[in-house]
């Protein structure tokens, strides 16, 4: 979850490292720091809070060196504070770490017995102690790293430097992502490509268990046992995604407004415009193999998991193939049975979520084909998968996922059609009808975005509710959960997403006139049932915000607030109804004065369990 950068080269390391950290701030933003070699010593500057605090501290600092490391933190061991901020320096060693060292207690006790003075509450500092101790026996960084590697249990991506080796950086990883950037006169190490893409387009993706030694402008990659490994340099064609808000006050609202384009870009490669049919070429399965799939597992975390729940509904309804959708952090611990002829679908915007990656590996080990739906190409999950569907949503900067959510839903729309076709469950006319529905979605989302004004004006009133219940049935239920998650993470208010039919099994007790009930009830086969659920909530004093389609006198009477979406069927309705719940959370959070792009305690990419 933290972001790490290392640099060797002729440019001012402060500039290069801070540019990299800015691009990585989405990974964590509770403290940050740099250590830059300056006249034979590592000058370390650290600051609690956002990267801007470090930037401010650095304005007064001048560095003359050519080697340095930097870090932006998302706290795991030890609260956010300057003392716990990275880099950690022990003796000659400075390092930055992303991940969690699981045998932290054991190492700490051992080091204390050995006379180490531990300054922070972090697990990362212990690695610096181990290295410093080892350097006394093996004064070169690379053999020292290789010697301590077997002692580290857990997840890590680490860059370390030694004051006595002013041209050397050593980096190693197990779990979290790490890349090496190869410049003509400089070398870069970073948690992701965006951190270095303005300097070089030549990248080496490091795999778990690999160690890279940078010496001047040369580098060598080794296995954890010290065996040299040949690694291809990949030329990427990315451009620096200039983090611009395009006139919007926050990235999140810009990304909400980008959803029509995100959906169009996600579906475009898979639709044959001439025949209005779906053609998915990168599924990692040919048509025959697809037709033989007997069970599908969809595994993801957070918002991505909710898209998976919508996918479960769509695939089962259209293709009649049983689907199990699981939270990735639970999946491997429930000892799942993965029968032959199963397909495993992972959904991850970042492609780096540790639990989702672990679930992918479990599926692969069981011999099951993995289809990845992700946004970040060549991310860890993407690289391990057999088949690929790309969200093509563009970089999502806001920590709360919005456009990646919609892009994923639209890919699941198309995948359910492809699966249904392979199973012979769809006529050409039916397929074309579904394809037209999804083609219509971007323009319909644009219409829904007009609700922005309503939420902006209503936020001051909405923020006074004690809590929010989001209710939906069928395909609307996962969107209810997504709405509640958005409000929790941005407005820090209590919110729950419930299947509307479950209300009388407990949650009705929560309802009084301080409780807002957001009802997702478009006109479909479940509409009448949803109205009954609303009557039940209304009778107990609940304040109802209905999100529906068209007009219905009864519904409008029950509702304190009534919002109408464009007419659409169950297939694409989730794409429309997610927009108002995003706008609700966004505007309430803004009106409460919260940092919507970087909500407290969260990070965009969760690379630890
Ligand atoms: C919520 C949100 C998170 C992510 C989750 C999975 O707004 O963004 O719940 O959806 O952390 O992340 P990815 O999709 O990168 O695996």
pLDDT at 350 over 50: yes
Compute, in angstroms, the gap from residue 325 CA to the centroid of ligand 1: 15
Q: What's the pLDDT score for residue 77? A: 80
pLDDT at 393 over 50: yes
pLDDT at 233 over 90: yes
User: Could you check whether 253-444 and 448-591 share the same CATH topology?
Assistant: yes
Alpha-carbon distance of 392 to 404, in angstroms, equals 8
Alpha-carbon distance of 347 to 372, in angstroms, equals 6
pLDDT tens per residue across span 396-422: 989 899 999 999 999 999 999 999 999
Q: Which ligand 1 atom sits closest to the C-alpha of 381?
A: 16
- From 353, 356, 380, 395, mutation site for ligand 1 pocket: most ligand atoms within 8 A of C-beta: 353
pLDDT at 242 over 70: no
276 conformational bin, left if phi > 0, alpha if psi -120 to 50, beta if neither: left
Residues noted as catalytic: 2, 604
Where is mean pLDDT largest: 448-457, 499-508, 533-542? 448-457
pLDDT at 158 over 90: yes
Signed CA dihedral, 332, 336, 340, 343: sign only: negative
pLDDT at 540 over 90: no
Choosing among 3.40.50.1100, 3.40.50.300, 3.40.50.2300, 3.40.50.10490, the CATH entry for 253-444 is 3.40.50.10490
pLDDT at 364 over 80: yes
| DSSP one-letter string for 348-385 | ESSS--HHHHHHHHHHHHTT-EEEEEESSTT-HHHHH-
Q: Tell me what the mean pLDDT of segment 244-263 comes to.
A: 88
Confidence of residue 243 (pLDDT cuts 50, 70, 90): low
Alpha-carbon distance of 476 to 310, in angstroms, equals 8
Ligand 1, atom 10, residue with closest C-alpha: 303
pLDDT at 230 over 80: yes
Compute, in angstroms, the gap from residue 597 CA to the centroid of ligand 1: 14
Domain boundaries, the chain: 3-237, 253-444, 448-591
Three-state secondary structure call for residue 4: strand
Mean predicted lDDT score pLDDT of the chain: 93
pLDDT at 374 over 70: yes
Is the whole-model pTM more than 0.85?
no
Confidence of residue 155 (pLDDT cuts 50, 70, 90): confident
Q: Tell me what the mean pLDDT of segment 257-283 comes to.
A: 93
Q: Compute CA distances 581 → 187, 410, 526, whole Å.
A: 44, 18, 20
CATH number belonging to domain 3-237? 3.60.20.10
- From 251, 304, 348, mutation site for ligand 1 pocket: most ligand atoms within 8 A of C-beta: 304
pLDDT at 51 over 90: yes
Q: What's the pLDDT score for residue 351? A: 95
Q: What's the pLDDT score for residue 201? A: 93
C-beta of residue 71 within 8 angstroms of C-beta of residue 52: no
Above pLDDT 70, what percent of the chain? Answer: 98
Residue 222's DSSP bridge partners are: 211, 228
Confidence of residue 524 (pLDDT cuts 50, 70, 90): confident
Alpha carbon dihedral 151, 156, 157, 160, in 10-degree steps, equals -40
CATH number belonging to domain 448-591? 3.40.50.10490
| Ligand 1 lining (C-beta closer than 6 Å) | 301-304, 348-350, 353, 356, 400-401, 485, 489, 606
Q: What's the pLDDT score for residue 490? A: 97
pLDDT at 475 over 90: yes
pLDDT at 340 over 60: yes
pLDDT at 120 over 90: yes
Q: Tell me what the mean pLDDT of segment 452-481 comes to.
A: 95
Beta strands in 183-279 (DSSP E): 187-190, 202-205, 210-215, 218-223, 228-229, 234-235, 271-272, 277-278
pLDDT tens per residue across span 567-576: 999 999 999 9
pLDDT tens per residue across span 163-189: 999 999 999 999 888 999 999 999 999
Q: What's the pLDDT score for residue 386? A: 97
Compute, in angstroms, the gap from residue 303 CA to the centroid of ligand 1: 5
């Amino acid at each position: 979850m933290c972001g790490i950068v290392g640099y060797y080269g002729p440019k001012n390391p402060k500039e290069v490292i801070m540019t990299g950290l800015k691009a990585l701030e989405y990974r964590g933003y509770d403290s940050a720091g740099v250590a830059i070699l300056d006249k034979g010593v590592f000058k370390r500057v650290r600051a609690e809070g956002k990267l801007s605090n470090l930037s401010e501290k650095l304005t007064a600092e001048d560095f003359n060196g050519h080697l340095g490391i930097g870090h932006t933190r998302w706290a795991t061991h030890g609260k956010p504070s300057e003392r716990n901020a990275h880099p950690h320096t022990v003796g000659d060693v400075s390092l930055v770490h992303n991940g969690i060292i699981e045998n932290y207690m054991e190492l700490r006790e051992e080091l204390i017995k050995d006379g180490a003075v531990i300054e922070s509450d972090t697990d990362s500092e212990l690695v610096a102690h181990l290295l410093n101790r080892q350097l006394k026996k093996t004064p070169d960084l690379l053999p020292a790293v290789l010697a301590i590697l077997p002692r580290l249990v857990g997840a890590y991506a680490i860059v370390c430097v030694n004051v006595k080796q002013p041209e050397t950086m050593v980096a190693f990883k197990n779990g979290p992502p790490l890349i090496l950037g190869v410049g003509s006169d400089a070398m870069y190490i970073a948690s992701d490509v965006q951190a270095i893409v303005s300097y070089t387009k030549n990248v080496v993706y490091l795999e778990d268990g690999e160690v890279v030694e940078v010496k001047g402008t040369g580098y060598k990659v080794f296995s954890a046992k010290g065996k040299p490994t040949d690694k291809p340099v990949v030329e990427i064609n990315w451009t620096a995604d200039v983090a611009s808000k395009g006139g919007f006050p926050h990235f999140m609202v810009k990304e909400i407004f980008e959803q029509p384009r995100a959906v169009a870009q996600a579906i475009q490669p898979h639709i044959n415009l001439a025949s209005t049919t779906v053609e998915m070429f990168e599924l990692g399965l040919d048509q025959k193999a697809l037709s033989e799939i007997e069970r599908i597992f969809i595994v993801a975390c957070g918002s991505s998991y909710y898209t998976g729940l919508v996918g479960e509904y769509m695939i089962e309804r259209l293709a009649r193939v049983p689907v199990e959708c699981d939270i990735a952090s639970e999946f491997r611990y429930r000892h799942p049975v993965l029968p032959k002829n199963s397909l495993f679908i992972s959904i991850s915007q970042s492609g780096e979520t540790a639990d989702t990656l672990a679930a992918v590996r479990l599926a692969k080990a069981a011999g099951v084909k993995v289809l990845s739906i992700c946004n970040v190409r060549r991310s860890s999950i993407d690289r391990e998968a057999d088949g690929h569907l790309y969200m093509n949503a563009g970089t999502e900067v806001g920590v709360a996922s919005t456009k990646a959510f919609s892009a994923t839903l639209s890919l699941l729309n198309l995948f359910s059609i492809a699966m249904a076709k392979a199973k012979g469950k769809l006529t050409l006319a039916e397929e074309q009808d579904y394809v037209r529905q999804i083609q219509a979605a971007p323009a319909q989302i644009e219409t829904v975005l007009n609700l922005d004004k309503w939420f902006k004006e209503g936020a001051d009133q909405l923020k006074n509710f004690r809590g929010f219940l989001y209710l939906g049935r069928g395909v609307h239920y996962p969107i209810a959960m997504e709405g509640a998650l958005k409000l929790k993470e941005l407005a820090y208010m209590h919110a729950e997403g419930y299947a509307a039919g479950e209300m009388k099994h407990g949650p009705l007790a929560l309802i009084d006139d301080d409780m807002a009930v957001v009802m997702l009830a478009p006109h479909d086969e479940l509409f009448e049932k949803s109205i009954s659920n609303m009557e039940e909530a209304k009778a107990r004093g609940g304040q109802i915000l209905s999100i529906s389609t068209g007009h219905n006198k009864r519904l409008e009477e029950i509702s304190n607030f009534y919002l109408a979406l464009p007419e659409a069927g169950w297939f694409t309705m989730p794409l429309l109804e997610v927009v108002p719940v995003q706008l609700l959370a966004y505007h309430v959070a803004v009106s409460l004065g919260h940092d919507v792009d970087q909500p407290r305690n969260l990070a965009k990419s969760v690379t630890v369990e």
